[in-house]
Amino acid sequence: MGTLLNNLDIFTIGFRNTVILFLVSGFFSLILGTLVGAMRVSPIPALRTFGTLYVNVVRNTPLTLVMFFFAFGYPKLGLPEIDFTVSAIVALSIYTATYVAEVLRAGINTVPVGQAEAARAIGLPFTQTLTLIVLPQAFRSVLPPLFSVLIALLKNTTVAAGFSVTEAGAIRAYLAERGEPALVVLLWVAFFFVILVLILAQLQRYFEKKWKVAR
């Protein structure tokens, strides 16, 4: 307990930045993943091809390499500079969006084809059919795996510690300079990560119950 109380400032800053990384990256990955998932089922071949290439290339690239590109490769392109925190958010969002897209695509495939055909029969275009009929049902059916993706995102934020971002993954290195035992520090970090994951699990159960009643 002394390790935690004596270094509460580092733990607070680290997990505050972790939560910020998670919330912002989660928001953008859900938006981008939904767009890419829609491309994957689009009737337009060019969009389907782009969505497939994006998912296959980014998902099969290690997150460390994606983050390395935005931290060190991006500035070499002559584009406006961004700090390491923004680079980490961009990398996490782009990477996680591929998993969101695949989860949503699986959910879209669970929606009976007859519903989309009925929507087209009354004159709804593809965009309205997808947003008003298909996606709301797809999100409900893939809620558990979608939260699993978000939990993986939460844990992936620790990779940002290797790119000068002060978050939970960097706590051990900071406290090592203060002479704190590494094992104790790591146990506290793991403890707080478990708490965050339990909060996400509770949110999952809440939405499952809420949407189940709404059916």
Closest CA to 186 of 30, 2, 23, 4: 4
Residue 165 has a pLDDT of 77
Q: 120-133: per-residue pLDDT in tens?
A: 787 777 778 877 78
- CATH number of this structure's domain 15-170: 1.10.3720.10
Is 171 exposed, middle or buried, given 0-12, 13-18 or 19+ CB atoms closer than 10 A? buried
Q: Using the predicted structure, report yes or no on whether residue 5 has a pLDDT greater than 70.
A: yes
Cα 109 to Cα 44, 96, 123, 154, 184, distances in angstroms: 17, 20, 21, 27, 46
Cα 129 to Cα 108, 113, 158, distances in angstroms: 12, 11, 39
Confidence (pTM): 0.86
Q: Using the predicted structure, report yes or no on whether residue 214 has a pLDDT greater than 70.
A: no
DSSP 61-75: S-HHHHHHIIIIIGG
Residue 215 has a pLDDT of 46
Residues 163, 87 contacting (CB under 8 angstroms): yes
Mean pLDDT throughout 158-186? 79
Whole-number average pLDDT of the chain = 84
